[in-house]
Structure 1
Amino acid sequence: MDEETAEQQADITRLLLHHIHAPFTGTLYIRGVLPVPPPAEAVRVVTGAGPGHTPDRLTAYEIPLRPDDDPVTAGDITGILRALHTGTRLYSSDSVSTVMGMTLVRVNPAAVDKTAATSDDNALTILRGVACPFTEEQPDPRLRGFLFLQQDLLRLYLDTEDIPGVIAADVRPSGAITALLAALPSLITEEERMTAAGDDPHCSRLVDLTTW
């Protein structure tokens, strides 16, 4: 995996996290950001209305990270999503498929007139820049994406220097969060906890931490 792509996926995930409880438009929320596996350079942003978490109520939009060699930002993605959910939009059959039970739409950013940033968007940029200034030092493990599988089941997509590829870790938000976060770096490297990724193409292995 191109490290630049991995960093961009991680940065976009971090900057879109607030939309899990703040709608990006109307009643639509982000329910996941999925790291598209190589050789593609893209993210899949999963959206849904209200509290829905079941796959049949979610849509994943695959957005290239560097169309025309210009990096896509989290703000660009928010603008694209808002435009896609404004009015009626038709998609060609070759741009629509399924992934993990969700409808998957491959987006051509050049064909979308993304909406302008709102004053709240700009205020968030200012506040985030002051409270959480950018640093080149990457966390380990690094969050590359996430997906709400159920109301109380969250899948984290992580990478670490110790293991190649992306590791998915299933956790329960209702569990012992502080203890889980402290132990997470070591838990995701324990071979005995790892299983095959199943129908999830966004990771190379899966760790079940729902009962930890």
Structure 2
Amino acid sequence: MHEEIAEQQADVTRLLLHHVQAPLAGAQYIRGILPVPAPAEAVRVVTGAEASDTPEQLTAYEVPLRADSDLLTAYGIVGILRTLLTRTRIYSSDSISTVMGMTLVSVDPTSVDPAACTPDDNALTILRCIAHPFTEERPDPRLRGFLFLDQDRLRLYLDTEDIPGVIGADVRPSGAVTALLAALPSLITEEERMTADATDPHCSCLVDLTHW
């Protein structure tokens, strides 16, 4: 059951990546997708204005990944978030908290009428399926989420068959990206690089690759 949710978190991340550059709704972009640790079956989608990267500028929406016995798809999550981001909504106090300094909103999907897919959404689905057809082969490491921490610090949430749990890896987008991507699978498994980050509940250990 845990692997099913882990795979769904990875799929949501993969399918929503383009909203880092393309608005999700209005002037709101996706600035992070956080894999909620087991046993919870949820994902946290972080939104904010373009290039926002400080906690006070961001809001995280925690969305359950299962409705009854069915898994909620990335497209369903987009529809829910578009409704929340474009309509005035009053939240109860017990649905608001904080995580990593950000406002965290717990979403009840049954109380939200999701926005319909747009023609551009459907066009992207067609193009993506042709350009990158689905494969059952699991990438290793697998991207479970990400978060922009500042203008030149991006945290990747990864898992690998060699290490239990989720690994947080901090990288510099302005760095030597090609070399980093080639070395990443081995770098994240080096135990001497691993530290803990008590402020981040989404990873079991952290690897700082910003100076690599």
Counterpart residue identity of residue 82, structure 1: R
Once the two structures are superposed, residues 155-197 of structure 1 have per-residue CA deviations (whole angstroms, 9 ceiling, x without a partner) of: 0000000010000000000000000000000000001101012
Indicate conservation of the 8 Å contact 2:195/2:207, yes or no: yes
Q: Give the structure 2 partner of residue 96 of structure 1.
A: 96
Q: Secondary structure at the match of 1:85?
A: helix
Distance in structure 2 (CA, Å) of the matches to 1:110 and 1:9: 20
Q: Give the structure 1 partner of residue 38 of structure 2.
A: 38
Range that drifts further, 1-10 or 172-181? 1-10
Query: Paired residues, what number?
Result: 212
After TM superposition, list the pairs within 5 Å mapping 1:3-82 onto structure 2.
3-82=3-82
Range that drifts further, 59-68 or 1-10? 1-10
Distance in structure 1 (CA, Å) of the matches to 2:42 and 2:146: 15
Counterpart residue identity of residue 76, structure 1: G
Could you tell me the percent identity over the aligned residues? 76
Please, what TM-score do these two structures have when normalized by structure 2? Answer: 0.99
Indicate conservation of the 8 Å contact 2:169/2:188, yes or no: yes
Q: Secondary structure at the match of 1:14?
A: helix
Indicate conservation of the 8 Å contact 2:33/2:145, yes or no: yes
Indicate whether 1:111 and 2:111 are aligned. Answer: yes
Indicate conservation of the 8 Å contact 2:25/2:82, yes or no: yes
Moved over 6 A (4+): none
Distance in structure 2 (CA, Å) of the matches to 1:171 and 1:75: 28
After TM superposition, list the pairs within 5 Å mapping 1:90-169 onto structure 2.
90-169=90-169
Runs of at least 5 residues in structure 2 that lack an aligned partner in the other structure: none
Indicate conservation of the 8 Å contact 2:25/2:86, yes or no: no
Distance in structure 2 (CA, Å) of the matches to 1:162 and 1:13: 21
Counterpart residue identity of residue 33, structure 2: V
Distance in structure 2 (CA, Å) of the matches to 1:127 and 1:69: 30
Q: Give the structure 1 partner of residue 206 of structure 2.
A: 206
Counterpart residue identity of residue 118, structure 1: T
Q: Secondary structure at the match of 2:71?
A: coil
Indicate conservation of the 8 Å contact 2:26/2:86, yes or no: no
Distance in structure 2 (CA, Å) of the matches to 1:136 and 1:197: 32
Counterpart residue identity of residue 89, structure 2: R
Q: Give the structure 1 partner of residue 175 of structure 2.
A: 175
Distance in structure 1 (CA, Å) of the matches to 2:87 and 2:195: 43
Counterpart residue identity of residue 98, structure 1: T
Q: Secondary structure at the match of 1:82?
A: helix
Once the two structures are superposed, residues 134-154 of structure 1 have per-residue CA deviations (whole angstroms, 9 ceiling, x without a partner) of: 111110000000000011110
Runs of at least 5 residues in structure 1 that lack an aligned partner in the other structure: none
Indicate whether 1:189 and 2:185 are aligned. Answer: no
Distance in structure 2 (CA, Å) of the matches to 1:67 and 1:104: 20
Distance in structure 1 (CA, Å) of the matches to 2:114 and 2:2: 27
Counterpart residue identity of residue 151, structure 1: Q
Please, what TM-score do these two structures have when normalized by structure 1? Answer: 0.99
Q: Secondary structure at the match of 1:89?
A: coil
Distance in structure 2 (CA, Å) of the matches to 1:151 and 1:23: 18
